[in-house]
Structure 1
Amino acid sequence: MGGNLSSELKSSKYKKREIVDLRKMNIDKLPPTVGALQCKELLLSENDLITIPEEIGKLSKVEIIDFSKNRINYIPPEIGSLSTLKQLFLSNNKLFYTPLTPNLGSLKSLTRLDLSANQLDDLPVELSKLEALEYLDISDNQLQSFPLEFGKLYNLQVFNCSKNSLKSLPGEISGWVKLQELNVSNNQLTFLPNQICLLGLLSTLNVGFNKLQQVPEELSSMVSLTDLDLKVNPPLQYVPQLSNLRQLKKLSIRNLQITHLPLGLGLLSELIELDIRDNPQLKEIPYDIATLINLQKLDLFGNNMRIVPREIGNLINLQHLDLRQNKLTIDNIPSEIGKLVNLKKLLLSNNLLVALPPEISSMKALKEFEASNNQLQSVPAEIGELTGLTKINLSGNKLTSIPPSFGNLSELVICDLKSNEIAELPNTLNGLKACTKFDLSHNMLTELPWEFGDLTGLTILDVGHNPLTIPPNPIVMKGTETIIQWLKKNEKEGRKGKVSGLGIQGGDN
Structure 2
Amino acid sequence: EIGYWTSMTELSVASNRLHALPIELGLLTILSRLDMEHNTISVPPAEVVARGPADVVDFMRRICDSRFSGVLNLSGKALKVVNPEIFQIEGLRVLNMSDNQLTSLPDKFQTMTMLTELAVANNQLGTLPPSIANCESLQTLSINGNQMSSLPAVAGALPNLSHFEFEQACELLSPPRNIIQRGRVPILEFLASIHDSQRTLGLKLVSMGLTTIPEEVLTLTGLRRLNLDKNILKSLPPNIGNLWSLEELTVTDNLITDLPPEIANLSALTELDLKGNKIPVIPTALGQLSSLTILSLENDHVISPPKEIIAAGTTVMVDYLRRLFESKINGVLDLSHLSMWSLPEEIPELRNLVEMSIAGNQIVHLPSSIGQLSSLAQLWMDQNQISALPPTIGMLVNVSSLALDFNQLATLPNQFGDMVSLATLTISNNLLRVLPSSIGNLGNLRTLNVTNNVLRSLPQSIGFL
Which interval holds the TM-score relative to the shorter structure? Answer: 0.3 to 0.5
Q: TM-score by structure 2 length?
A: 0.37
| Greater relative contact order, per chain length (Cα 8 Å cut-off, separation 6+) | 2
Structure number with greater Rg is 2
TM-score by length of 1: 0.34
Structure with the larger helix share: 2
